[in-house]
Structure 1
Amino acid sequence: MKISVIMPVYNGEKFIVTNVTKVRELLESYQGVNLITDFEIVVVDDGSKDNTLRLIKESFSQDKRIVIVQNIINQGKGFALKNGFFSSSGDIVVLIDSDLDIPPEQIKNLITEYKKGYDIVISSKFEKGSELKYPILRRIISFIYYITIKILFGLPIRDTQTGLKLFKREVLELCLSRMVVKRFAFDLELLLIAHRYNFTIKTVPVKINYHSSGFVSPSVLLMSFIDTISIFYRAKILQFYDRPITIPKSYPYKFFILSEQKLIGINTNDKDVNEISDDEFVIIKNYKINKNLDLGVLASIIESYKIGVINGSISYSENDIMSYISSNIIFSHLLMPLYNIAVRVVNTRLIPMPISDFLCVDGKTFKYLLSEKVNLSDIKDITLKLKKKYNFFVFSSDWSTISNEKLELVEDYFLRLSLLIRTGNISGLVFRGVLFFSLWFTLALSIATNNIWLALPYISFYLLYLIFKLILSGLKGLVLLPFFLIFSLIIGLIGTLSPIFYLLYKGDN
């Protein structure tokens, strides 16, 4: 039995080498007594800004048992764990925080319980026998979160957040294809999905020796709350996690990467572009292939939903203030309906959008693109052509890629609005339009009648937005506010009138 231990780290130069060495020595001792037959440690650097990555490479690059994974920008613990899993090969997978506040010697307890026949073994602060050197503030937050989870989800698990868990590999292969959350409530979503699919879960006591003060920033608390409510919406309103999914064995689909005019086989032989079969798949445009990720999760989604086009999400590095403003306006949940939660759910109303450097199409679709003489190096040209043929895309966060392109605030924003209108996907646009038009109307009416109370909804809404951004981004939120005001006025006018614009466009075509 091979075990993979995944250790995500962010700015951990002070401890990462010592802690990885400690875990390696521990696993060597387990191997010596035949508790495991083989092991690997997957260290995932989540966009650290210090010397973490350099130290890891200097210390462990010669050890084949240490797998080093890098996220170019920080994307959160959940994404790091997911990325680490897709770079692993163990029969069982252990997730552990790299600061080792939870002593790794407890991995043995998880393996022992796993061998009794459980699919998942997790440590829990609420189990009898737990020893907690844990700040009182953390205890209060943990208890409040437990009560919240119990009320919202009714999970038979008292502690979803403790950072030491063991999974059978097949559990993660299935569950991660359903995952949306990348950051704060990753553990909750993962265990909720596992529970929905009737995997057996065992909880064991834990020893925690917490090293920091226990302070939790308001932004982390806020985003954790938002992630939790989003999971509740998907679980209880959309029933997203209840939809059937199949994990095909032995990867029944053949995958290729498009390279110039050649199809490079990932799990098959290379081909010329004209030799593609309808039931084969081509991955187009700037993507570093991870075979475990693409062939496992891609195949499971294709098999489950019988689809031919898969689009992925994208991350932009916010290197300067204009990049920060553009990213926060174009990808705002409030200002752009594309990024509300419905976008991540498979249905026939999703819009093909040029917003990702990752695109996978079946052979039939690829032949169509060739017949249309599409520029296969231009993702916008590809997706606009596909709009003629398809009314849907699958937009999944499992393939988050990093773009080096610079966002053009006005051009990109209006491109997305125009595609919404032209495809008739305007329900979210109308809702936002009416909301913002009403707010600006109350402000205008307040000025016209010299009645400050009429402007109260307007003032309250934008004040709450400003507080929200200040919590998340600090003083940069102040810079963002005037741009948000301008674009909210634009969305108010265009959104309210979008049904008329759509009817005019439909009449002309």
Structure 2
Amino acid sequence: MPAYNEGKYLRESVVKTKKELSRIPHEIIIINDGSSDDTESIAIELSRKYRNVKVVSYTKNRGKGYALRKGFQHSTGEFIVFLDSDLDIPPSQVHRFISALNNGYDVAIGSKYIPGARVNYTFKRWLFSTAYRNLVKVLLSLDVSDTQVGLKAFKRHVLENVFPRITVKRYAFDVELLTVISMYGYSIVEIPVKIEHKVYNSSINWRAIARMFLDTMAVYYRKNVLHYYNGGIHEDSLAQLEGYRAPRGGGR
């Protein structure tokens, strides 16, 4: 569970997730991604109350991708589930993702665009989501309907093999991760999700959108020009690419 300033919902999120997983062995790893609110103290409180809740914490906000990689480094399970901590995605849906892995799939990802999904979006958010979805399909030939849902499940060996090639830590992390997983031939199943947004923000962070576009173009460049994901790039070439990245900005 990556958490950036999620003190308002974190306690409820962990309690509900534990209840859903009570019949199977599990651990919950909360990654405090440089929060400035009470996220860290609540996470520590939960780890003291529940022996299978762990906390990974650092002071600087580094982005969702960085947080998930740090969480994975502290995990022990054979099935790894990424779940946002803001309760927009009810944890009651996790069982369907675990079942998909038990049924032979390597990866299960949530989708807003397949039959059975239930999502309420503002028009601006829907417009941006649809545009970005089409951009990913055109640029990366990624055969999934949705890359951005904050509920995904993986067999451990998939992430062990793929994470060493992942470079994006913020905006296009999910796109890069699924691009490499697809290139490596792992089986992916999409599962319809229910998303319950608690706060509707009609404004659009254009700076974040610009950075997401740049990060996505960088994934395209690594895949199709440098062939980095195939192991065809030298470290000095990657260093040059890193040097042309836009300056860091804002939150995730």
The verdict on a shared fold, with TM-score over 0.5 as the criterion, is yes
Which residue number in structure 2 is paired with residue 105 of structure 1?
92
Counterpart check, 1:84 vs 2:71: yes
User: Does structure 2 retain, via aligned residues, the 8 Å contact 1:134–1:208?
Assistant: no
Which residue number in structure 2 is paired with residue 305 of structure 1?
none
User: Does structure 2 retain, via aligned residues, the 8 Å contact 1:123–1:162?
Assistant: yes
From 59, 70, 89, the counterpart of 2:46? 59
How many matched pairs? 246
Aligned 1:220-369 pairs, distance under 5 A: 220-243=208-231, 346-347=234-235, 349=236
Aligned-partner Cα distance in 2 for 1:124–1:203: 6
Aligned-partner Cα distance in 2 for 1:207–1:63: 28
Shift of 1:472: 4.5
Aligned-partner Cα distance in 1 for 2:34–2:78: 28
Residues 303-334 of structure 1, C-alpha deviations (whole Å, 9 max, x = no match): xxxxxxxxxxxxxxxxxxxxxxxxxxxxxxxx
Counterpart check, 1:165 vs 2:152: yes
Q: Which amino acid aligns with 1:69?
A: V
Residues 160-192 of structure 1, C-alpha deviations (whole Å, 9 max, x = no match): 111110000000011101000000110000000
Which residue number in structure 2 is paired with residue 216 of structure 1?
204
Shift of 1:97: 0.7
State the identity %.
36
Aligned 1:33-48 pairs, distance under 5 A: 36=24, 38-48=25-35
Counterpart check, 1:196 vs 2:191: no
Moved over 3 A (4+): none
Q: Which amino acid aligns with 1:217?
A: N
Q: Secondary structure at the match of 1:83?
A: helix
Shift of 1:212: 1.6
Aligned-partner Cα distance in 1 for 2:168–2:53: 27
Aligned-partner Cα distance in 1 for 2:50–2:220: 42
Shift of 1:25: 1.3
Which residue number in structure 1 is paired with residue 20 of structure 2?
26
Counterpart check, 1:50 vs 2:44: no
Aligned-partner Cα distance in 1 for 2:31–2:249: 24
In the superposition, the TM-score normalised over structure 1's length comes to 0.46
Residues 253-299 of structure 1, C-alpha deviations (whole Å, 9 max, x = no match): xxxxxxxxxxxxxxxxxxxxxxxxxxxxxxxxxxxxxxxxxxxxxxx
From 9, 16, 30, the counterpart of 1:15? 9
Aligned-partner Cα distance in 2 for 1:13–1:102: 16
Aligned-partner Cα distance in 1 for 2:136–2:187: 19
Shift of 1:84: 0.5
Q: Secondary structure at the match of 1:39?
A: coil
Aligned-partner Cα distance in 2 for 1:62–1:98: 18
User: Does structure 2 retain, via aligned residues, the 8 Å contact 1:44–1:80?
Assistant: yes
From 82, 97, 109, the counterpart of 1:95? 82
User: Does structure 1 retain, via aligned residues, the 8 Å contact 2:168–2:176?
Assistant: yes
Residues 172-229 of structure 1, C-alpha deviations (whole Å, 9 max, x = no match): 0111010000001100000000001000000011111111214431121111111101
Aligned-partner Cα distance in 2 for 1:208–1:24: 19
User: Does structure 1 retain, via aligned residues, the 8 Å contact 2:46–2:53?
Assistant: no
User: Does structure 2 retain, via aligned residues, the 8 Å contact 1:94–1:167?
Assistant: yes
Counterpart check, 1:206 vs 2:193: yes
Aligned-partner Cα distance in 1 for 2:43–2:60: 17
Larger RCO (CA under 8 A, 6+ residues apart): 2
Q: Which amino acid aligns with 1:219?
A: R
Aligned-partner Cα distance in 2 for 1:226–1:151: 15
Gaps of 5+ in 1: 1-6, 245-344, 351-393, 396-424, 433-467, 474-509
Counterpart check, 1:141 vs 2:128: yes
Shift of 1:60: 2.5
Q: Secondary structure at the match of 1:236?
A: helix
User: Does structure 1 retain, via aligned residues, the 8 Å contact 2:9–2:87?
Assistant: no
User: Does structure 1 retain, via aligned residues, the 8 Å contact 2:82–2:153?
Assistant: yes
